[in-house]
């Protein structure tokens, strides 16, 4: 197939009958609203014409911080259609974060919500941005007003595989947030591989309940449905009860692990409620084996866990088809077709099956580098061109990848490596434990001391000494937490990732180190 960029690839997937429903809103102003494929075609043409009317330089960045809406998705598509670079910003970002992104990315256009216009436009104009539009989640704002005056005809820009399509800023838990530059080739190749690997088929309907400023909701979920010409049921915010009600009309659901645990909290989650569903997919953070098992028990479905990141889109997935193997709990499956995954130790030697090391990847999905950070980019690639993911894991004897944590979360105590995932797994299996996070804190004798932060199940009383006592019988002493904190909840970001940096900050001086 000739590649002409991500918009052209997605547009090819639209069904022949453009009057069919492409997206139906499940919540938000005016819901339910139905958008046809023709609406997407026209809406993106008109918005692309707004951008074209600005005569922007090639490669201009369009930075967008809005609430989730169908029009916001259309804006993303319009940026691709017009051939510019899309820069989504987490809707939770505040002033000093937005200021950093505007200074770093120097966008030609900024789109924000009407309520944030005053302060964002001030930052944008003082940073050199010439155009600021607003877009509300109720179809208000200057972007749509301008688009309404535009032609419904627009010839999509033709893009090459190595042209830049988007910049995704990493969550930046340490140091400066880095802009991962993704090309059209990255996005198109990954969308096509996933369409095949997850068996997207005629009649599929996706429940879209994820934010669209992140790789998961923006690329994996939206691209999947658009490329397959599949209808989406569109939630602007996650609502477990309402989601379960819509399973009867849908076939595909994608979520981060927290969405699955919240769905499990609903009495309405039954095999009958899920009988129309074809596949449930999880990613962005580790899925606890307990959640995996509970889901199978409660719904009769086995979750497909996959692994990816902003810099690489999707890398591995548990098999969808039985012929490709079982879906193995606690693993993220096999490398996707065309993706290379290897695990190497600190000396750069390949790790044999079962041995833990750094995960490195290669393939048409791997990004073009960090925006305006050539040295950082060089540091993160090996001499033979593999990207160092920063994740630590192993490939088991059957070829499944298992992630044990981020390399920066590795705890080194008295010279011994402790992989938090191992200890967390043991703690999570204990009676009354909902979840846990294991971190390392500065320690005067050991360099770092192991500490566990544990959340009890509702109504359960937990005692740190009992947890420590039980671990002592099962693992080497150096791995046993020196202190256990029992808390109501773990700090998480919007993608459900536990923010260990915040836990480390909070308990920093514990050992006086
Ligand atoms: P982001 O760039 O925000 O998508 O974050 C990517 C990181 O999320 C990866 O480098 C992993 O550390 C983590 N991640 C994504 N999917 C999984 C998964 N299925 N299991 C464990 N960690 C995951």
pLDDT in tens, 302-334: 999 999 999 999 999 999 999 999 999 999 999
Task: Please give the distance, rounded to the nearest whole angstrom, from the Cα atom of residue 283 to the centre of ligand 1.
Answer: 7
Is residue 332 within 6 Å of ligand 1 at its C-beta?
yes
Q: What is the mean pLDDT of residues 350-362?
A: 97
Residue 342's closest CA among 365, 316, 321?
316
Q: How far is the centre of ligand 1, averaged over its atoms, from the C-alpha of 12 (Å)?
A: 30
Report the C-alpha gap between 266 and 269 in whole angstroms: 6
pLDDT at 79: 98
Instruction: Taking residues 11-33, report their average pLDDT.
Output: 98
The pLDDT of residue 175: 61
- Give the per-residue pLDDT at 412: 87
Within 8 A by CB and 6+ apart from 345, the residues are 351, 355, 357, 358
Measured by CA distance, the residue closest to atom 6 of ligand 1 is 309
Residue 378, pLDDT above cutoff 60:
yes
- Distance (Å) from CA 168 to ligand 1 centroid: 14
Residue 77: strand, helix, or coil: helix
What is the Cα–Cα distance from 233 to 249, expressed in whole angstroms? 9
**What is the distance between the alpha carbons of residues 155 and 142, in angstroms, rounded to a whole number?**
23
Q: How far is the CA of 308 from the centre of ligand 1 (A)?
A: 6
pLDDT at 172 over 60: no
Ligand 1: residue of 210, 285, 405 to mutate (most ligand atoms within 8 A of CB) is 285
> What are 226-282's pLDDT values in tens digits?
999 999 999 999 999 999 999 999 999 999 998 999 999 999 999 999 999 999 999
- What's the helix, strand, coil split of the chain in %, to 5? 30, 25, 45
- Give residue 309 CA to ligand 1 midpoint distance, Å: 5
Return the best residue to mutate from 213, 425, 493, 497 for the ligand 1 pocket (most ligand atoms within 8 A of CB): 497
Distance 272 CA to ligand 1 centre (A): 31
- pLDDT tens digit sequence for 388-444: 999 999 999 999 999 998 888 889 888 778 889 889 999 999 999 999 999 999 988
DSSP bridge partners of 405: 392
Angle at Cα 500 formed by Cα 495 and Cα 503, nearest 5°? 125
Q: How far is the CA of 441 from the centre of ligand 1 (A)?
A: 23
pLDDT at residue 173 above 60? no
Q: Which of 13, 33, 41 is nearest to 202 (CA)?
A: 13
Cβ(171) to ligand 1 under 6 A? yes
Nearest-CA residue for ligand 1 atom 15 is: 284
Protein residue with least CA distance to atom 8, ligand 1: 284
482 lines ligand 1 (CB under 6 A): no
pLDDT value at residue 96: 86
pLDDT given for residue 422 in this prediction: 87
Q: What atom of ligand 1 comes closest to residue 310's alpha carbon?
A: 2
**228: three-class secondary structure by DSSP:** coil
Q: Looking at beta carbons, which pairs linking 302-305 to residues 24 or more positions away fall under 8 Å?
A: 302/327, 303/260, 303/327, 304/198, 304/279, 304/280, 304/333, 305/281, 305/331, 305/332, 305/333
Name the DSSP class of 440: E
Q: 464-472 and 420-428 are packed helices; what angle lies between their axes, rounded to 10 degrees? A: 110
Task: Report the SS3 class of residue 177.
Answer: coil
283 lines ligand 1 (CB under 6 A): yes
Beginning with the edge strand found earlier in the chain, give each strand of the sheet holding 401-406 in spatial order.
340-344, 357-362, 387-395, 401-406
Indicate if ligand 1 lies below 6 Å from the C-beta of 471: no
pTM over 0.95? The answer is no
Helices (H), 148-287: 184-197, 215, 222-227, 240-246, 257-264
Count CA atoms within 13 Å of residue 283 on its CB side: 25
């Amino acid at each position: 197939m000739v590649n002409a960029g991500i918009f052209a690839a997605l547009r090819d997937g639209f069904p022949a009958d453009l009057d069919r429903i492409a997206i139906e809103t499940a919540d938000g102003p005016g819901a339910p609203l139905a958008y046809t494929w023709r609406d997407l075609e026209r809406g993106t043409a008109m918005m692309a014409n707004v951008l074209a009317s600005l005569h922007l330089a090639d490669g201009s960045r369009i930075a967008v911080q809005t609430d989730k809406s169908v029009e916001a998705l259309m804006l993303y598509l319009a940026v691709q259609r017009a051939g510019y670079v899309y820069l989504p910003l987490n809707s939770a970002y505040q002033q000093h974060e937005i200021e950093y992104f505007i200074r770093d990315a120097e966008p030609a256009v900024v789109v924000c919500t009407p309520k944030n216009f005053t302060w964002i436009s001030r930052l944008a104009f003082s940073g050199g941005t010439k155009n600021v539009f607003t877009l509300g989640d109720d179809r208000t704002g200057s972007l749509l007003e301008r688009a309404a005056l535009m032609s419904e005809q627009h010839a999509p820009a033709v893009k090459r595989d190595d042209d830049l399509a988007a910049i995704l800023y990493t969550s930046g838990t340490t140091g400066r947030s880095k802009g991962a530059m993704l090309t059209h080739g990255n996005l198109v190749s990954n969308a096509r591989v996933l369409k095949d690997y997850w068996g997207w088929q005629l009649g599929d309907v996706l429940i879209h309940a994820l934010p669209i400023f992140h790789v998961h909701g923006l690329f994996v979920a939206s691209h999947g449905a658009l490329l397959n010409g599949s209808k989406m049921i569109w939630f602007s915010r996650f609502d477990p009860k309402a989601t379960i009600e819509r399973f009867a009309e849908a076939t595909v659901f994608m979520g981060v692990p927290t969405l699955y645990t919240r769905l499990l909290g609903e009495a309405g989650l039954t095999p009958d409620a899920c009988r129309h569903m074809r596949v449930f997919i999880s990613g962005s953070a580790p899925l606890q084996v307990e959640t995996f098992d509970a889901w199978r028990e409660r719904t009769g479905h086995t979750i497909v866990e996959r692994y990816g990141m902003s810099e690489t889109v999707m890398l591995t997935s548990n098999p969808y088809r039985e012929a490709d193997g079982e879906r193995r709990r606690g693993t993220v499956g096999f490398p996707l077709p065309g993706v290379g995954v290897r695990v190497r130790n600190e000396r750069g030697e390949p790790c044999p099956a079962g041995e833990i090391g750094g995960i490195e990847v290669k393939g048409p999905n791997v990004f073009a580098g960090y925006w305006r950070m050539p040295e950082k980019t060089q540091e993160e690639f090996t001499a033979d061109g593999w990207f160092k993911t920063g994740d630590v894991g192993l490939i088991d004897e059957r070829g499944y990848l298992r992630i044990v944590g981020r390399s920066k979360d590795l705890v080194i105590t008295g010279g011994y490596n402790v992989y938090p995932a191992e200890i967390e797994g043991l703690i999570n299996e204990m009676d009354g434990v909902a979840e846990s996070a294991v971190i390392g804190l500065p320690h005067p004798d050991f360099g770092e001391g192991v500490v566990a932060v544990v959340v009890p199940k509702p109504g359960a009383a937990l005692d740190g000494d009992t947890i420590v006592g039980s671990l002592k019988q099962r693992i080497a002493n150096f791995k046993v937490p020196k202190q256990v904190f029992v808390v109501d909840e773990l700090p998480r970001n919007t993608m459900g990732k536990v923010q260990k940096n915040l836990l480390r900050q909070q308990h920093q001086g514990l050992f006086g180190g």
